[in-house]
Amino acid sequence: MSVEHHLQAGTKKFLNNSSRSNCFELFGFDILLDTNFKPHILEVNFSPSLSADSPLDYHIKSNLLIDTLNIIGMKRNSKKRGKNMSSMGGGQRYRAGSIN
């Protein structure tokens, strides 16, 4: 990919410290589909905006965050017990909402 060296250079400055080896970065890819539905990458954002300007935008970005938290294995805390259930192997997965 033509942007690969730019992404590597941008992330290396954050990974120089060994204590940050357990972090991740969210990239935003702007993609254009042509008339044959072939994707073309327009740009890659290192820190995409997660603010929502419309109900559809909110739905898409909130589901993105929910999927990200589930992929990294983060669980919700149990409100009943008041303990961090993720450290005990319990807890609930995050769930997506619906568009109002």
Q: What is the pLDDT along the chain (100 residues), one digit of tens a residue?
A: 566 777 677 666 666 655 555 677 788 899 999 999 999 999 998 888 889 999 999 999 999 988 888 888 877 765 655 554 444 455 566 676 655 5
**Containing structural domain, residue 60:** 51-100
- Residue 67 tokens, joined: 């999927």
Residue 88 and residue 60 share a domain: yes
The dihedrals phi and psi of 44, each to the nearest 5 degrees, come to -125, 125
The total of structural domains in the chain comes to 2
User: Which letter does DSSP use for residue 66 in this model?
Assistant: H
Q: Virtual CA dihedral for 58, 59, 64, 67, nearest 10 degrees?
A: 140
Q: Given this model, what pLDDT does residue 72 score?
A: 80
Give backbone dihedrals phi and psi of 14, rounded to 5 degrees, phi first. Answer: -90, -20
10 and 28, same domain (yes or no): yes
Pairing of strands 39-45, 28-33: antiparallel
Would you call 25 exposed, middle or buried from its count of C-beta atoms within 10 A (0-12, 13-18, 19+)?
A: exposed
pLDDT at 53: 92
Q: How many residues does the chain have?
A: 100
The pLDDT score that the predictor gives to residue 1 is 57
Does one domain contain both 56 and 99? Answer: yes
